Amino acid sequence: MDNNSQNTGIYKSIAKYAKTYILWAAAAAAGTVLSSWLEVRKTDCLRRIVDSAQAGELSAVPRIFLIAALCVAGIMAAVYISAYAAGRFSTGMIRDIKRDSAERISKIPIDYMNSVRSGEMLSKMSSDADNVQFFMESDFIAMMEIPFTFIFYLVFLIRLNPSLLLASIISAPIFVAIGARFSIPFKIGSKKYMRYLGLVSNTVADMVGGIPIVKSYNIEDALAEKYDSGIDKATDMALGNDKIQYRGIFFFQLARHVPLTVCLIYGGLLCFNGSLTLGALVAFTSLISQLLSPIIRSSQMFFNFRTAAASAERLFSIINEPIEREGGIVSSELPSDVPAIEFSNVSFEYERGKPVLKNISLGIAKGEQIGFAGASGCGKSTLLGLVCGFYSPDSGSIKIGGIDINERELKSTRALISYVSQDTYLFPESIYDNIAMGKPGAARDEVVTAAKAAYAHDFITATENGYDSKVGERGCRLSGGQIQRIAIARAFLKNAPILLLDEATSALDVKAEAEVQKALDDLSRGRTVLVVAHRLSTIKNSDRIAVIDGGVIAECGKHDELMSLGGIYAKLNNTGGDPE
């Protein structure tokens, strides 16, 4: 996509959010227009006061002072209204953008989420959103104001002396055009800077998320050095952008000061010749400076706009990202006369030309437990991801309850599934909140019953605040076994007919594994269960065991049958489960 098309898309996206608060934007613009008109009236009062004083006609001065005072009061009120309305406009718009971004993130396919770093995503949601908000709150409203301000001031100055106006401003467009040219490389540099800053933020995310590893391996200094190096490079990039910006601002400053100098010299000559009154020169000098002030403001606005445009492009890259499919058949039934889950010639690859699964065909009856064994990376967990709808097969089909998963509504499909993995994620809330996520709106008694079923109630009540105890970031205040039992309690509460267990006990010690396995055995009763195992002892009693090798089901049967074959499963069993 070329830059023009990309920019057009960004502007349309901003306009879509801005139109909701267009009345606040109009109020802000009206306030600035009113303040500009009152500024002209105040300047005219200044001219009349000076001319009256020079002519010795002081009787009219008090009335002119009163008008000027009213103009000042009006300007203050108009500026307040404009600032308040601009704040409501920008804050509301950014709130909607952030809300839609967060909602979009929850709907983005998991393969995209696996390809981005959390630090970069957070940078887009915070720094980039703040840049857009700053621009919309200040410069965007000013852009609406400047044409009116320019017209008001221009008309007044033409009335005072058109030849002085022409002589004063003739050089300004040249300097403005030169200064504006620097805004394009500034935008390019800003975009690179913000992208790099997002990468630097990933280092902080690593330091926080991996703090146990960071400390146990004494790599604090290495990560700090990596962060310092990144910040130094980011600072150099920022300084490079500043140099471009200051060069542009230099020419914008010339656009202001050269006309003002010409005004003083040429205006002074006109005064000596009697072609211009002193009051008119004072008013002209005052207003020509204010006429050119928007030019100086526009210099900064050019660069702020480029920064905001680069930030908006990054921010809207989230909102414009394709989401998971929506709609489809809504069904909560698993009929007994068809397989609960059926794989038919399913193939899948993460990278083109590197198949992970090839022509997998397997029917799983309602209430049956299937174990999956195989070497690391053979595709066992990928099968569970396909069942959850995290990925779509490249070929073949997956049916749940006799309905193709691609024809089912994703939420309806996932409502049938409870998923417990090795890497259980607990939110930094209370134990109660984490269990209750299995069934939003569940009564407290239901949560407690689920915890008891998962053999978690005793350790929960032994904590300081019981079910209201905070688990910390990713459950850091709990042991691995406790975290898994909370995850199992969550699955008990959901009470879904299909259970997916992805190496749910592989990271636990022997005692914790025994406790968790007991809870998993209870959870599995009466459900259709797919188990990915690292330790083959956990799937020994499964109704069937499918061995994945080379992306295909190489063996399938009961434990004793597979052992008697003396094939891949038997070798896995003899080596402890997962040869590398």
C-beta separation of 400 from 333 below 8 A = no
C-beta separation of 552 from 510 below 8 A = no
User: 441 in the Ramachandran plot: left (φ > 0), alpha (ψ -120 to 50) or beta?
Assistant: left
- Beta bridge partners of residue 404, listed in sequence order: 399
DSSP assignment string, 52-114: HHHHT-GGGHHHHHHHHHHHHHHHHHHHHHHHHHHHHHHHHHHHHHHHHHHHHHHHS-HHHHT
Closest among 183, 161, 159, 149 to 78, alpha carbons compared: 149
**Rounded distance between C-alpha atoms, residue 313 and residue 492, angstroms:** 43
Residues 6+ apart with CB under 8 A from 155: none
C-beta separation of 562 from 555 below 8 A = yes
pLDDT by residue for the chain (580 residues), tens only, comes to: 445 555 566 667 777 878 888 888 888 888 888 888 888 888 778 777 777 776 667 777 788 888 888 988 998 998 888 888 888 888 888 788 878 877 777 777 776 666 666 666 666 766 777 777 777 766 776 777 777 777 887 888 888 788 887 877 777 777 777 776 766 666 666 667 766 666 666 666 666 555 544 554 455 666 677 777 777 777 777 777 777 777 777 777 777 777 778 777 877 888 877 777 777 777 777 777 777 766 666 666 666 777 777 777 777 777 777 777 778 888 777 788 888 899 999 999 888 888 889 998 999 888 899 989 888 888 888 898 888 888 888 899 999 988 888 888 888 888 888 888 877 778 878 888 888 888 888 889 998 988 888 888 888 888 888 888 888 776 778 877 788 888 888 888 888 888 888 876 665 656 666 767 777 777 778 888 898 877 787 888 889 999 898 888 888 889 888 888 888 888 888 775 543 3
Residues 6+ apart with CB under 8 A from 268: 281
Size of the chain, expressed as the number of residues it contains: 580
C-beta separation of 86 from 134 below 8 A = no
Please report the pLDDT score of residue 198 as a whole number.
65
360, containing H or E segment: strand 354-364
DSSP assignment string, 531-548: EE-SSGGGTTTSSEEEEE
DSSP assignment string, 234-288: HHHHHHHHHHHHHHHHHHHHHHHHHHHHHHHHHHHHHHHHTSS-HHHHHHHHHHH
C-beta separation of 466 from 447 below 8 A = no
Residues 6+ apart with CB under 8 A from 15: none
C-beta separation of 393 from 346 below 8 A = yes
**Rounded distance between C-alpha atoms, residue 356 and residue 172, angstroms:** 65
The amino acid that residue 405 corresponds to is I
The amino acid that residue 299 corresponds to is S
Q: Do domains 3-319 and 341-574 have the same CATH topology?
A: no
Pairing assessment for the beta strands 552-557 and 498-502 based on DSSP bridges:
unpaired
Please report the pLDDT score of residue 96 as a whole number.
84
SS3 content of the chain, % helix, strand, coil (to 5): 65, 10, 20
**What residue ranges in 447-509 does DSSP mark as E strands?**
498-502
**Rounded distance between C-alpha atoms, residue 180 and residue 42, angstroms:** 32
CATH value of 341-574 in 3.40.50.300, 3.20.20.70, 3.40.920.10, 3.10.580.10? 3.40.50.300
Other CB atoms within 10 A of residue 230 CB: 18
Domain boundaries, the chain: 3-319, 341-574
**Rounded distance between C-alpha atoms, residue 568 and residue 549, angstroms:** 8
C-beta separation of 199 from 120 below 8 A = yes
Residues 6+ apart with CB under 8 A from 134: 90, 304, 308
Q: Which two tokens stand for residue 361?
A: 């065909």
**350 phi, psi to nearest 5 deg:** -80, -40
| C-alpha separations of 545 from 295, 421, 454, 533, 561 in Å | 75, 19, 25, 10, 10
- Beta bridge partners of residue 417, listed in sequence order: 498
Other CB atoms within 10 A of residue 173 CB: 11
Please report the pLDDT score of residue 77 as a whole number.
92
What CATH superfamily is the domain 3-319? ABC transporter type 1, transmembrane domain (1.20.1560.10)
Please report the pLDDT score of residue 120 as a whole number.
65
- Name residue, tokens 């040249």: 174
| C-alpha separations of 340 from 13, 20, 335, 416 in Å | 44, 47, 7, 11
| C-alpha separations of 380 from 74, 169, 532, 549 in Å | 72, 74, 6, 10
